[in-house]
Structure 1
């Protein structure tokens, strides 16, 4: 099933027709709660980590293909070709979905900023900061990025001439870069939301 659309931007000043400031704050609260949930909620986390897992599995298939190609025999080359197709079939959609997620996060932040400028509601704004959810995104993302750096740099530092092959180098360094990139995306998402919350929700905004 397709996702419901994001809450829209607030109407331009000349089209705003809230009967009073309380009605404005009510619409502001509903829109910002939904935008915050779509940014850092459980569905967003599940989708992000599933796409990340698909990307890792795809690169693993590519690594297996490279190792089989080094064998040089006909059965190995045929098996390697199958794994290349499987790997590309996993990497391409995962990368596209992660890229769409980054674009969607930018739209969410723009709409949060626009709704936040309409007024101030301390009770709602306190929940929108979501430090717990930001931390839940930050910690596993940091751990994944650290593992990625260790996998790529550690393998490169410990590589032995004559024993480790180019296929091994491509697999381990590439896998490390994939893990580091996914972890970096998660950290940027968490830190970006919390920075927006501290900057935009710290003090009451002016009324329209």
Structure 2
């Protein structure tokens, strides 16, 4: 499998810059900023963002099913306990690498933002910066992330009231829905941070 293309490096220090002309520097600046923006907000990044969210929810769903089986249904016979243990292990096995992927994505986004700021500070190029300043990607991430936060809020308050009660779910159900809501909240806040950072960059390039 081919290795993923590395991120564009930061601009070289002032004493090591050897561009033959300003146009060459602006071309390198435009390429680096375009690639960094794509890595942070592009369609591929959005697909992976949603896939990691789905994988986290799947893993937590398996763990939550085990919690409901133990705390709400009182399933303590040996055969059922083996089944619940296997289900919980599968859930943890899916959840851990998914969370690692989320953390890796956040670290990559932080690096992209830092390098974007460095390249943007080199010079100004209104014509080439116009593509980066377009609000489409930032708006898409903002709307999607706001929807995730709203869904997380609804899941953490409204859904438990619908499924928890004396004749319905108990502690296991509450734990599952709280965990699912937390995953939605975290992903929503990550997306909102990305959208806000893109907005700040667009404002900076436009001034």
| Coarse TM-score class (shorter-chain normalised) | over 0.9
Shift of the alpha carbon at 1:160? 2.3
Counterpart of 1:121? 125
Deviation at 1:155, TM superposition (A): 3.2
Q: Does structure 1 residue 25 correspond to structure 2 residue 26? A: yes
Match of 2:105 in 1: 101
Distance of 2:134 and 2:110 partners within structure 1: 18
- Are the aligned partners of 1:61 and 1:83 in contact in 2 as well (CA < 8 Å)? yes
Query: Could you list the runs of 5+ residues in structure 2 that have no partner in the other structure?
Result: none
Give how far 1:99 is off. 0.6
The Cα RMSD (Å) is: 1.4
CA change 1:94–1:38 in 2 (3 A) is: same
Q: Per-residue deviation at 1:156? A: 4.3
Q: Is the 8 A contact 1:155 1:173 kept in 2?
A: no
Q: Is 1:192 the equivalent of 2:197? A: yes
What residue is the counterpart of 1:169 in the other structure?
174
Normalised TM-score (structure 1): 0.92
Relative to the length of structure 2, the TM-score reads 0.92
Q: Offset at 1:75?
A: 1.9
Partner of 1:91: 95
| 1:130 Cα offset (Å) | 3.3
TM-superposed deviation, 1:197: 2.2
Tell me if 1:3 matches 2:4. yes
Q: Which contiguous aligned blocks of 4+ residues in structure 1 show a shift greater than 3 angstroms? A: 155-159
Q: Tell me which residue corresponds to 1:143.
A: 147
The C-alpha deviation readout for 1:57-96, integer Å capped at 9, x for no partner, is: 0010001111222322222211111111111111111111
Alignment size in residue pairs: 202
